């Protein structure tokens, strides 16, 4: 009898996987994303959140509130990049950093970028709650101005962190009211006295980040079409942006006869069509060209346009081919201006090389997905992300989740609670694997 009791009271231990130890609440993430969406210049479901506006500042406060509730230590740099840190046991190692952006282009949706911030806070909170002890510190961040809306420059925060931004260039950027980045940053409590100091403060010293991983919605239809759960990103396409202006002399829409006109609006219209033509001429589906800004002045129905301003975005996964398209567009702008007798300027806003994702991170993401029984697809990112610049200073990877119909940059952007929960879970396991820390007792009592 004695013997039997001893046998039955002995605890039996079994191994449980790290995946089972983590509890990720997808609905909570969606609720938080929904609350974040309310900080918008347009009524939901549309979301518009422009850098350093009151809604952007309220979104920032909310993100910091969530970081604090998750037990993270908050730090902000002069550019307005926000970090929340879960300290690791080995201070000689760099961190495993994750994050994305919370700014939103006009009339966007509520998942682009925000998932990679709010979802990452949930991932770190879950790891903390599960008793995971990181070796490399785990950090989540919100980048300043990934979208180019206010200063016509994308990925401002990550460009600064990676040293890809000069004082001269940043100071040349003014918003539509003539406000500079430094003035805008100082007005909301970030900033510095000089551009040099501003950029120095954001610059990441070598060895500070060992890995960077970004969780994002796909923004394209491939995962959904192929019924795959997780996208393992292999590379990020190379984006370029041009600003083109045509100037004519304008005139009266009734009195000025057609042969006497030099209509800047028509020059712009021809160039927009040329962008489409040159992009299609590569014969590759990976080449894309968009004229997303087209403004004419004076903008009166009875006035011949005197001025046309175009914002042109050209991308490709092949950087050399992308550059050829950019050159063709420049040549067309010149030819159209000469033929139509208008003056023109072309400004290259950015022409960034593509980024290759780190293979160890790709493996870690694929293994995390496998542990959770999720299917994966290796794919390129056709959208750009802060990862494009983080890849210059740290091994970088991205995790995609499906979004409905591939819609993004529009109010009906949507990802399901299930896909969000799965993406956050994969992110958490990937970060734990890259951190090299330990789980509490790899055994549990039966």
> What residues line the site for Mn ion (CB under 5 A)?
112-113
Q: Residue 384 interacts with ligand GLV (CB under 6 A)?
A: yes
Instruction: Give the shortest CB-408-to-Mn ion separation in angstroms.
Output: 7
**What would the x/- binding string for ligand GLV be over residues 142 to 181, using CB under 6 A?**
-----x----------------------------------
Taking the complex as a whole, the smallest distance from the CB of residue 364 to ligand GLV amounts, in Å, to 24
Give the three-class secondary structure for 192: coil
With a CB cutoff of 8 Å and minimum separation 6, the contacts of 91 are: none
Nearest to ligand GLV by Cβ — which residue? 383
Least distance to Mn ion, CB of residue 102, Å: 10
For 284, residues 6+ apart whose C-beta sits below 8 A from its C-beta are 316, 318, 321
Cα 306 from Cα 289, distance rounded (Å)? 25
Residues 43-82 that bind ligand GLV (CB under 6 A): none
**Min dist. Cβ of residue 435 to Mn ion (A):** 25
Q: Which is nearer to ligand GLV, 81 or 145 (CB)?
A: 145
Answer yes or no: are the C-beta atoms of 81 and 97 closer than 8 Å: no
- For ligand GLV, give the closer residue by CB, 173 or 382: 382
- For residue 82, give the H/E element and its range: strand 82-86
Closer to ligand GLV by Cβ: residue 122 or 147: 147
- 103 near ligand GLV, rule: CB under 6 A: no
Does 380 bind ligand GLV (CB under 6 A)? Our answer is no
Going by the DSSP 8-state scheme, the letter that residue 133 receives in this structure is B
**SS3 at position 83:** strand
| DSSP conformation class of 41 | S
Cβ-proximal residues to 4 (8 Å cutoff; 6+ apart), any chain:
none
CB closer to Mn ion, 117 vs 267: 117
Shorter beta-carbon distance to ligand GLV: residue 237 or 434: 237
Residue 195 makes contact with ligand GLV by CB under 6 A: no
Q: Residue 88: what are its φ and ψ, rounded to 5°? A: -100, 175
Task: Measure the CA–CA gap between 319 and 322, rounded to whole angstroms.
Answer: 5
Give the shortest CB-383-to-ligand GLV separation in angstroms: 3
Residue 241, helix vs strand vs coil: strand
Binding residues for ligand GLV, rule CB under 6 A, total 3
Shortest separation between residue 385's beta carbon and Mn ion, angstroms:
6
Closer to ligand GLV by CB, 107 or 203: give it.
107
Listed in order, strand segments (DSSP E) in 172-297 are 209-217, 230-236, 238-247, 251-252, 288-297
CA distance 392 to 394: 6
Relative orientation angle of helices 120-129 and 26-37, to the nearest 10 degrees: 140
Helices (H), 13-109: 18-21, 26-37, 54-69
Rule CB under 6 A: is residue 383 a binding residue for ligand GLV? yes
Binding partner at 352 among ligand GLV, Mn ion, none, C-beta below 5 to 8 Å by kind: none
Q: How far is the CB of 290 from ligand GLV (least distance, A)?
A: 9
* Closer CB to ligand GLV, 103 or 210, in the complex: 103
Binding site for ligand GLV (CB under 6 A): 147, 383-384
């Amino acid at each position: 009898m004695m013997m039997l009791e001893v046998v039955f009271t002995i605890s039996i231990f079994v191994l449980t996987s790290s995946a089972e130890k983590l509890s990720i609440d997808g609905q909570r993430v969606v609720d938080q994303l929904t609350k974040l969406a309310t900080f918008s210049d347009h009524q939901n479901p549309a979301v518009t959140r422009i850098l350093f506006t009151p809604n952007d500042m309220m979104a920032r406060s909310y993100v910091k509130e969530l970081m604090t509730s998750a037990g993270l230590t908050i730090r902000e740099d002069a550019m307005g990049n926000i970090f929340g840190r879960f300290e690791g046991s080995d201070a000689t190692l760099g961190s495993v950093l994750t994050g994305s952006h919370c700014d939103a282009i006009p009339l966007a949706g509520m998942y682009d970028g925000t998932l990679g911030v709010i979802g990452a806070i949930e991932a770190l909170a879950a790891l903390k709650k599960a008793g995971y002890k990181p070796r490399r510190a785990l950090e989540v961040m919100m980048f300043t101005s990934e979208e180019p809306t206010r200063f016509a420059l994308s990925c401002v925060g990550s460009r600064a962190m990676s040293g890809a931004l000069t004082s001269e260039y940043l100071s040349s950027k003014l918003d539509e009211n003539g406000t500079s980045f430094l003035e805008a940053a100082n007005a909301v409590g970030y900033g510095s006295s000089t551009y040099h100091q501003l950029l120095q403060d954001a610059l990441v010293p070598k060895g500070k980040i060992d890995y960077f991983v970004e969780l994002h919605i796909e923004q394209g239809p491939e995962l959904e079409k192929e019924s795959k759960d997780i996208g393992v990103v292999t590379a990020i396409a190379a984006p370029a942006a041009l600003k083109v202006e045509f100037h004519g002399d304008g005139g009266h829409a009734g009195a000025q006869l057609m042969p006497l006109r030099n209509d800047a609006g028509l020059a712009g219209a021809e160039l927009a069509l040329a962008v489409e033509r040159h992009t299609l001429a590569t014969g590759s589906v990976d080449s894309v060209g968009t004229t997303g800004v087209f403004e004419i002045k004076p903008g009166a129905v009875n006035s011949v346009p005197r001025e046309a301003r175009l914002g042109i975005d050209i991308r490709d996964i092949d950087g050399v081919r992308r550059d050829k398209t950019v050159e063709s567009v420049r040549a067309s702008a010149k030819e159209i201006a000469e033929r139509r007798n208008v003056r023109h300027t072309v400004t290259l806003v950015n022409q960034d090389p593509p980024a290759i994702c780190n293979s160890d991170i790709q493996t870690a993401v694929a293994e995390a997905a496998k542990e959770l029984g999720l299917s994966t697809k290796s794919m390129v990112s056709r959208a750009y992300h802060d990862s494009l610049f983080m890849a210059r200073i740290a091994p970088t990877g991205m995790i995609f989740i499906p979004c409905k119909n591939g819609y993004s940059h529009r109010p009906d952007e949507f990802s399901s609670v299930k896909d969000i929960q799965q993406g956050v879970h994969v992110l958490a396991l990937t970060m734990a694997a890259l951190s090299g820390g330990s789980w509490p007792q790899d055994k549990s009592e039966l």
